[in-house]
Amino acid sequence: MALGEKLFEESGNITGVKVTRVHPIEGVTMEVSFTSEIRGIGRFPSGKNLGSGMMTQYPHGILDASWQGLLTTAEDGEQFFWWAHEKGKIVEDGKVKGLIMVTGFTNSQKLSWMNNLIMALELGYDPASQKFNVAGYEWE
């Protein structure tokens, strides 16, 4: 896997969790929502991010999630709609590490270069504080 330039750093909070299914073998499935701040690097815009999705935590500590959301730029309020898929695992102290693949689209001329962008995100999440941090990279 070839990672290109670092695009952004993100920090956020889980704002809602709803358990939708519990199964002793198939794990726990939840609807999760979050808000975050994105600090863009280079041409990637800074802004506010809003997202939600479905996450399943399996009994052996693996997580699988599908997300969707909206980044609104801080500079001029332009919007980038995105969707993502995550694979993660529970590590030391119950924290989560994950890899997220993201694509999206915009109608903004200024952000049109993002329409062909595939991003690889490295996630760190602390369930105790409900806070997460992400480093986003261009996938080439």
If you write DSSP's letter for every residue of 29-89 in order, what string do you get? EEEEEEEEEEEE-TTSPPEEEEEEEEEEE-TTSEEEEEEEEEEEETTT--EEEEEEEEEEE
Q: Quote the percentage of the chain above a pLDDT of 70.
A: 99
Give the domains, in start order, of the chain with CATH numbers: 3-139 (2.40.160.20)
pLDDT score recorded for residue 102: 98
pLDDT of residue 3: 87
Q: What is the pLDDT of residue 1?
A: 60
**Res. 35 pLDDT band, cuts 50 70 90:** very high
- Average pLDDT of the chain to the nearest whole number: 96
pLDDT at 2: 78
State the DSSP H helix or E strand holding residue 96, giving kind and residue range, or none if neither: strand 96-105
Classify residue 98 as exposed, middle or buried by CB count within 10 Å of its CB (0-12, 13-18, 19+).
buried
Per-residue pLDDT of 42-93, as tens digits, reads 999 999 999 999 999 999 999 999 999 999 999 999 999 999 999 999 998 9
CB atoms within 10 A of CB 133: 14
* pTM given for the model: 0.93
